[in-house]
Structure 1
Amino acid sequence: MSLPVLLWRLGAAAAAPVLPLLLRRRAARGKEVAARLSERFGEGAARPPGRLLWLHAASVGETASVLPVLEALAARAPQLSVLLTTGTVTAARLLEQRLPPALRGRVLHRFAPLDVPAWVGRFLAGWRPDAAAFVESELWPNLVLAARARGIPLALVNARLSARSARRWARAPGLARTVLGSFALVLAQSEADAARLAALGAPAPRCLGNLKDAAPPLPAAPEAMAALRAAVGARPVLLAASTHPGEEALAIAAHRLLAPRLPGLLTVLVPRHPERGAEVAAAAAGLAVARRAAGAMPGPEVAVYVADTLGELGLFYRLAGVAFVGGSLVPHGGQNPLEPARLGCPVLVGPHCWNFAEPVARLLGAGGALRIEGEDPAGALAEAAFTVLSDPARARAMAAAAAAAAATEAGLPARVAEALLALLGPDAAGGTIPDGRARALPSAPERIADGPGRERDSAP
C-alpha cells in the first residue's frame, strides 16, 4: 500500500467519529435526508436476485446524463438490476421525478456511503455488485480500492478531468496511479480528458463522447407550461439558470439596468440549489419578487421570479427569450449550456466555463451563444441580454444555431451501455451468474506501479 493511500485511509478513519454529527447538521439544512442517514454509513442493503450493476453519479448533472444509459441497459439486459447511488438530495429527487415508470422496479437508489473504510466495506458486503461504474470524476480512493480488492470490475464513464484537477492529482502521483489504475474501462468525455487521465495512470482511456451531449431535452409538464405562458404573456424574459452565490446579485443588477430599456421585463432566477430560494429572493429587495416554492406565479406585477423548485428548468428554458447559464460568472466552472441550446434558447455564458469548455466553444463558434466579459459583469450581462431580447431576428438566428450545435448524439448511450455489459461478461443479458460472484478484472493491470521500478499489490 502506497503512503498516500495509507494516509487517506487513516485520515478517513480518524474523521469517522465526527461525520455523523456533520451529517445531522446537513440534514437540518436539507442537504441530507434524515431518515436515510444510515445509507451514508453503508447500511440499508437490499440486494435483488440476479445480476447487479452499481452506478455512482454524484449529483444532478451526472444523474441526468445516465438516464438514457439506464434505458439502453434495460433494453439490452432485461434481467439486469441497477443500484444507482448519488451524493446529493437534489440528484435523488431528480431520479424520482424522471426515472421512466418501466424502470422503477429495476433501478434502486441509495445515497453513497462516505469514504470511510468500514462504511465502504459494509456497503460492498451488503450489495455485492457484479460490476461498478463511476460517472465523470467522482473518485473516492477507499471506495474505488475496496471495490477492486473484492474483484469487482470497475468503469469510469463520461470521465472528465479538468486541467486544474489534473494538476491537483499530479501532486500525489502515487495515489493517482493507484486509484485510476484500478479501472478496467475508462470512457472519457473528450480526447483532452483522455490524455490527462492517461498521464495520471488510467489504463487505455478512450473517448466515445459526452453523455451530456446525448441527453434528451429537459422535460416540461404541459399544464405548468401553459399556466406560465398565460401568466407571463408577451413580456420579455431574461432567465438566469443554475446560478451560484453571487450570480443572483449580478442578474438583479442587470435587471435594474435593463428594465427602463425593456418595458415589462421579467427576470427569472433559478438557483442551482433550490433551498437558497429565500436568500435569493432577499437579494432583490426593492423589486416586486415572487417565489415559485411559495406557490406564486409571475403575474404582470412581478419583476423578479425566483423558481426555487427542482426539476422544472425545462419550463423556464422554453419560456425565456435568452438564458444566462450560471456557474460561469463566478469561478465554479459553469453549468451545462446544452440544456437551453437543445430547446432553442439563446445562451449567455460568463468567463468561467472550464467544466464545459468544448460545448461552450461549439456554441460560441456556431453563433448560438454570447460570452459575458469585462470588469463590469452586471453591465455586460445587461448588454448581452439586450442584444438578444431587443432584436427578434438575432434571437431566432441564435436559437437555431444553438439547437443545431446541441444536436443529440443519439447512439452514445447505447454504446456506453454495451461497454458496461461487456464489463459484466458475455452472459450479462441473461443474468445467469450467481449473485455477487467476484470476478477477475478484464484487461485491468494485475499490479499497480507504486513508483519508478517498484510494484505493489493493488489491494489496499
Structure 2
Amino acid sequence: MAVAGLGRLGLWLQLRHETPDQPDAPLPSGTGPLLILAASRPNHAARAQIRAMLEKRRPDLRILETSAGGLPDQETDRAAMRRLIRRAEPFAVLLLGTELPAALIVSAVELGIPVIMGEARFDRSEARWSLRAGMRRELLGMVSTLFVTDIDSHHLARRIGIAPGKVSMTGPVAEIHDPLPCNEAERSTLAELLGGRHSWLAACVPPSEEDAVLGAHLAALHQSHRALLFLVPTDPDRIIPLQERFEQNGLIVARRDLDEEPDEEVQVMIAETNAELGLWYRLAPVTYMGGTLSGDDELTRHPFEPAALGSAVIHGPFTRRFSTEWQQLDGGNAARLVPGPEALADSVAELTRPDLVADLAGNAWTVSTGGAGVAMQITSAVLDALEDAGQ
C-alpha cells in the first residue's frame, strides 16, 4: 500500500500544474482511424519500421507523433492532453522506448484509450524506493500491453507487479539492412574455384590491426593448411606493404586489383576497396570486423552486414559505433568477442570447424533479420486494438 501511495504521490507532483489554454494542435489530415505514437529518441529506427508496416496494412491510418510541433507537453500537461485526446479520438496510444510520458498515459487511460508499449528496456532502478521509480511503476501498471526487449527487463516487469498476461519478451526491433549486392555469376565462379576450402574475411582492417590479422591467419593455416584469407584494408595504399609483409611470412598472395584469382596455391586474397564486401561476405563463412580490436574504428562496418549474409562474426572490445547491434549479437550468442590479438588467432583457428561456424552464423542471421518479426508483433497489437475499437 505504501509503495502504491508513493507512486500516486509522484504522479500528483508531476501532473499538478496546468498551462493556460493553447491553440489546438494540427491533426493528420484524412478521416481514417488515428493512432498517437510517442517514440524515445534512440528508437527512431523502430518507429520507422513499425510506422511503415502499419501504413501498409491500413493505408487510411492517421498517425499523430508527439514529437511533432505544436502539441501539448506530454509529460506534465494533463488537461491539455485530455483536450487533445478528446479532439483526436485515437483508438490507441503506442509508446516505443523506455520513456513514460505521464500526462499522455494518464489522460489516455482516463478516457478509455488503450496504451501499448514496445521496445521497453528496464533496469534495477525501476524497483527502487523513490518518487520517480514509484511513479514509473504506477504508469507501467496502466499500460495494457507491454513488449520488452530482453530477459532482465521481463524479470523486472514481473518483479514490480506487471500482470503476466500484459508483458511479453520479444527482443528489440533491430534495424533491417538490405543485403549488400554482389555479382552472382562471379560469386558462383569463385565459390567453385574455392572448392570447399575454409575461408575467412578480415573486413576494413586499419594499419593498427594488420599484424593481428596476420597472426590469426597463420593460426588458421596451422589448423587447416588450405585456409584462405580475404583481406580488405581501410587504406588502398597499404596493399603493396601488406603483400610484402605476408610474403615475408611465407604466404602466397593474390591481389584483386591485378585481377588475380584465389587459386589452390593462394593463401591470402587482398581486395582493393570495400565495394565488393557483399561478395566476400557470401564467400567467407567467418568475418572479423576490422577496427573493433584496436578502437581505430572510423571505417568499421555495420555488424548486420555479414550476419545477414550467413557469415559468423568476430569482433574486438571496441564496439561504440554500433553498440546496440553488438549487444544484440553478443546477447544472442551470435558473435564471438575477442579481447586481443591472441584471442583473435585462437577464434579464427577454432572457427575452421564447420559445426561451430554454422551455429554462430545461424544465430547471427536470426538476430540480424529478426527485427521485422518483432516489429510485426508490435504492429499486430496495434491492429488488434484498432479491431477492438470497431474501426
* TM-score computed with the length of structure 2 as normaliser: 0.49
Higher relative contact order (CA 8 A, sep 6+): 1
* TM-score computed with the length of structure 1 as normaliser: 0.42
